Structure 1
Amino acid sequence: MYSLRFTTESSSNGVLERDFTVGDVPGVLWSPASDAADHAPLILMAHGGGNHKKHPAMSGRAQRLVAGCGFHVAVIDAPGHGDRPRTAHDEAEIAELFRARAAGEPEGPIVVRYNDHLAKRAVPEYQATLDALQELPEIGTDGPVGFWGINMGTAIGLPLVAIEPRITAAVFGQHWPDTLAEQAKQITIPIEFDLQWDDEHIPREAGLALFDAFASTEKTLHANAGKHKELPRFEADSAVRFFARHFGPAVTSPA
């Protein structure tokens, strides 16, 4: 079992940001700066493809969850992303993706294959990270745990949630069902799912098929007009309200 080691710490606007490592996996933990959040809910997040743990989407969502709800939020760099080195396999898959993109060929088959490979590596890393975070006295083992990941974050988070009983609510979206539908059938917790109606990479029917595969009795589909990278910013506020509804009091979104 790996222990968690904090490497840097800073605080701003009531949010404490601490970089950490679990083994050789780097991550970041955002928490309320006060002690009032002891044993508050923990939201694990996963970043999108080509991004990293402190991408603005991650820090922005964390700010909403910490400042608005008093939650703890943690992200780790996916394999081959952020501060982690790329393997020869990573380099080959990325080169193939860029080649297909330049040639105007479908990206889906490459992204699905590569994300599945990354998930097999990242899922045990997230479990080890959760183990280590729950050893912290301010988090502990008695608070609820959620998961939030879109795009590649769904590719990693969905198989994690399928096998991790500590996670009891999740936000997913924008991925193909190819390697995930069977695992989605194992998930019964509350789900919020984002889909772009005019996604140029993920056919509408594919996104709907993945949503339909979840066995959850409480699952909500948010379908918005727009292309793959045009997910409305207000969906972040909706996800925060989703977690607040299940884990805590109602939240007023920051201006």
Structure 2
Amino acid sequence: MIGHGGGQHKKGWEVVSRAFPYVTSCGFAVAAIDAPGTGDRPEHPEIRRLVAVIDERKAAGQPFGPAEPALAEVVASQLIPDWQTTLDELQKLDSVGEGQPVGYYGLSNAGEMGIRLVAAEPRITAAVLGLIGSEWLIDAAKQITVPVEFLLQWDDEGNPRDSVMKLFEALGSTEKTLHANPGSHFRVPSFEIDSSVRFFARHLGTAGSS
């Protein structure tokens, strides 16, 4: 399961570029869905309003205030159940089936939703998360116990490293790894994709493996 970033959609390059190696190298079935108000989904008035508030504050150099967590809550209230329903349907397919291990990949806004989803969905057994440092995710992070690979961009202008590391520290997983790289939010090295392939192959197995 691959989540998309803010303002993106399920067919965006960041989703497709990650899906290909998971399919070709590991034989995984990969799924992505649109968040509310994006891609093929209808426009969401409340999300549009909150995004406009955030954009206005950003342009003025002001803190986002309560609009930021409010936006996350609105998106999560629909997206998390949608992901769970998607997983229900996927497991009915012969090519997927029930009882198989499930992984989730999501960075930035998809990391925000991913922490919430992994905490709520016991069928997910491994996750690659990161590029997020929201303090309101601390309690959800504590509920995560599956293996996690967590990404941090050292010069991320929107997610200060101290906040990201605090969220990493809060993860309840006994197996968790922090990958910190220099650069801004959108400069995640391409080799991190290779690392995520190895991570999921290790924890989910590959096609034909036990």
Say if 2:33 is the partner of 1:76. Answer: yes
Matches within 5 A, 1:51-200: 51-107=8-64, 110-200=67-157
**Structure 1 residue 107: Cα displacement:** 4.6
In terms of fraction of residues, the more helix-rich structure is: 2
Aligned structure 1 segments of 4 or more residues deviating by more than 6 angstroms: none
Relative to structure 1, the CA distance from residue 108 to residue 144 in structure 2 (aligned partners, 3 Å threshold; closer, same or farther) is farther
Q: 2:163 maps to which residue?
A: 206
Structure 2 unaligned regions, length at least 5? none
Residues 82-104 of structure 1 deviation map (CA, whole Å, 9 limit, x = unaligned): 11122221111121122122222
Aligned-pair identity in percent equals 50
Residues 4-23 of structure 1 deviation map (CA, whole Å, 9 limit, x = unaligned): xxxxxxxxxxxxxxxxxxxx
Residues 62-115 of structure 1 deviation map (CA, whole Å, 9 limit, x = unaligned): 001001111110000000111112222111112112212222224585444312
Give the SS at the match of 2:165.
helix
User: Contact 1:198–1:228 (CA<8 Å) still a contact in 2?
Assistant: yes
Residues 172-194 of structure 1 deviation map (CA, whole Å, 9 limit, x = unaligned): 00112322110110111100000
User: Contact 1:148–1:157 (CA<8 Å) still a contact in 2?
Assistant: yes
Give the SS at the match of 2:157.
coil
Relative to structure 1, the CA distance from residue 209 to residue 144 in structure 2 (aligned partners, 3 Å threshold; closer, same or farther) is same
Cα distance in 2 for residues equivalent to 1:206 and 1:106: 15
TM-score with structure 1 length normalisation?
A: 0.77
TM-score with structure 2 length normalisation?
A: 0.93
Relative to structure 1, the CA distance from residue 217 to residue 108 in structure 2 (aligned partners, 3 Å threshold; closer, same or farther) is farther
User: Contact 1:194–1:222 (CA<8 Å) still a contact in 2?
Assistant: yes
Cα distance in 2 for residues equivalent to 1:151 and 1:170: 14
In terms of fraction of residues, the more strand-rich structure is: 1
Matches within 5 A, 1:30-41: none
Give the SS at the match of 2:31.
strand
Q: 1:232 maps to which residue?
A: 189
Cα distance in 2 for residues equivalent to 1:170 and 1:199: 21
Cα distance in 2 for residues equivalent to 1:232 and 1:113: 31
* Larger radius of gyration between Structure 1 and Structure 2: 1
Letter in 2 for 1:58: V
User: Contact 1:151–1:173 (CA<8 Å) still a contact in 2?
Assistant: yes
